[in-house]
Amino acid sequence: MPETFLIETPRLRLRTFQLADVAAFAAYRAAPEVARFQSWEPYSYAQAADFVAAQAGQPIPAPPGTWVQIGIALAATNELVGDCALCLAADEPRQGEIGITLAPAWQGRGYAAEALRGLFAHCFETLGLHRLIAVTDCENVASVRLLGSVGMRREAHFRQNIWFKGAWGDEYVYALLREEWPIK
Ligand SMILES: CC(C)(COP(=O)(O)OP(=O)(O)OC[C@H]1O[C@@H](n2cnc3c(N)ncnc32)[C@H](O)[C@@H]1OP(=O)(O)O)[C@@H](O)C(=O)NCCC(=O)NCCS
């Protein structure tokens, strides 16, 4: 029932992407600082429009092994301020990986932490997942701070495990178990 997907937090709504999100999504997906630690390069407007059209109305979660993007919108106005993503493991769908992006103008307000806590509650309490992970470039200071602040444990530090944008990169893996939720 993708059209009914909704996670509400005090200031935000996590919801399916809508065609009206294209302008906001295109603006932040075009920003080099947003793309810096992501697997993709800055998007053109046309790429962003195609992406939103493909995501709009998708079931959340997607079938195991497939990423789905979840819009993060202001509760007050429904304006898109970023997105998080969820992928259930193909071989063990009780485990999932998450990711998150906020538009630069909306960073530094605690929205990312609020969105992740809402997503964790949904994943553990509604979907009944066992374990969530997040993978981040070790140099992504904002992401490292965020994942620690929402209670994820750093479980792995991989050295030069990924050829990333022209150089070998280091990554941290963070994890959270359902039995560790809610964070005290
Ligand atoms: C990673 C990312 C989502 C983090 O966003 P963020 O804005 O730093 O995180 P939050 O929204 O939780 O904001 C936290 C900051 O807001 C501040 N803040 C302001 N008002 C706040 C409030 N009401 N509640 C909580 N924090 C608040 C906090 O002090 C905190 O600052 P600090 O980290 O310097 O202590 C963001 O940097 C981003 O989108 N980066 C580009 C994409 C990316 O690399 N994603 C990660 C891929 S793995």
Summarize pLDDT for 154-179 with one digit per residue, the tens.
999 999 999 999 999 999 999 999 99
Using 50, 70 and 90 to split pLDDT, how confident is the model at 183? confident
**What is the model's pLDDT at position 4?**
79
**Closest Cα partner for 117 from 164, 150, 144?**
150
pLDDT of residue 3 exceeding 80, the answer is no
Contact 123, 93 (CB under 8 A): no
**What is the model's pLDDT at position 2?**
45
Summarize pLDDT for 77-128 with one digit per residue, the tens.
999 999 999 999 999 999 999 999 999 999 999 999 999 999 999 999 999 9
Using 50, 70 and 90 to split pLDDT, how confident is the model at 134? very high
**What is the model's pLDDT at position 57?**
86
Summarize pLDDT for 39-79 with one digit per residue, the tens.
999 999 999 999 999 999 899 999 999 999 999 999 999 99
Given ligand 1 and candidates 84, 100, 116, 174, which is best to mutate, with the most ligand atoms within 8 Å of its CB? 100
pLDDT of residue 1 exceeding 70, the answer is no
Contact 137, 169 (CB under 8 A): yes
Q: Is 24 in the pocket of ligand 1 (CB under 6 A)?
A: no
State in Å: Cα 157 to ligand 1 middle. Answer: 22
Q: Is 9 in the pocket of ligand 1 (CB under 6 A)?
A: no
**What is the model's pLDDT at position 26?**
98
Sketch the domain layout of the chain as residue ranges. Answer: 2-180
| Tokens standing for residue 173 | 């893996």
As a whole number of angstroms, the longest Cα–Cα distance in the chain is 44
* Peptide bond just before 10 cis, omega within 30 deg: no
Instruction: Determine the topology of domain 2-180 in CATH.
Output: Aminopeptidase (3.40.630)
Using 50, 70 and 90 to split pLDDT, how confident is the model at 184? confident
> Could you give the residue ranges of the DSSP H alpha helices within the chain?
22-29, 32-35, 45-55, 111-121, 141-149
What length does the chain have?
184
Contact 136, 172 (CB under 8 A): yes
Dihedral angle of Cα 123, 79, 30, 86, to the nearest 10 degrees: 10
